[in-house]
Amino acid sequence: MGLTLDSSILIAGERRGETVGQVMQRVRAAHGDQESALSAISIVELTHGIYRARTDADRVRRIAFTHELTRDMIVHPVSVAIAQLAGRIEGEQASQGISIALEDLIIGATALHLGFDVVTINLKHFQAIPDLRVIAL
């Protein structure tokens, strides 16, 4: 059992000027000392933010945060098994008229594949993924 961190937690921490260590302290304080990991899609979302930065200072801070994150955390790639699980979930949910953003789908499928929970600020984004335990930070 462990925790997959949603990008929303990381982005909020970075915007507050926190280090990865400080974000992880908040996660541990709220949910105990569990193994924590990321989906590679979170790196996509953070890198997107680097290139959307409005100032050089924001860009430099975001680069440093993302570098620290990839250095200090386990980042799980999107494997064939995760891709197939995401495709199954998306197909099943779409057949019921439920749409899930691709980023959230991949993060959720990564968590399910690992047997982890998702920790997020945006509970609603993940609640459409069956069998996924979603917890707030």
Tens of pLDDT along 44-72?
999 999 999 999 999 999 999 999 999 99
Work out how many domains the chain is built from and give that number.
1
Please report, in angstroms and rounded to a whole number, the separation of the first and last CA atoms in the chain. Answer: 17
Structure tokens at 116: 């982890």
- pLDDT above 90 as % of the chain: 98
Residue 137 has pLDDT above 90, yes or no: no
Structural domain boundaries, residue 79? 2-136
Tell me, what's the pLDDT at 1?
Answer: 86
What is the domain-level CATH number for residue 46? Answer: 3.40.50.1010
Amino acid at position 82, single letter: I
Query: Which residues are registered as beta bridge partners of 117?
Result: 3
Average pLDDT over residues 73-88: 97
Q: Is the pLDDT reported for residue 95 higher than 90?
A: yes
Three-state DSSP state, 134: strand
For 102, list phi and psi in degrees, rounded to 5: -55, -45
What's the rounded mean pLDDT across residues 12-19? 93
Band (pLDDT 50/70/90 cuts) for residue 122 is very high
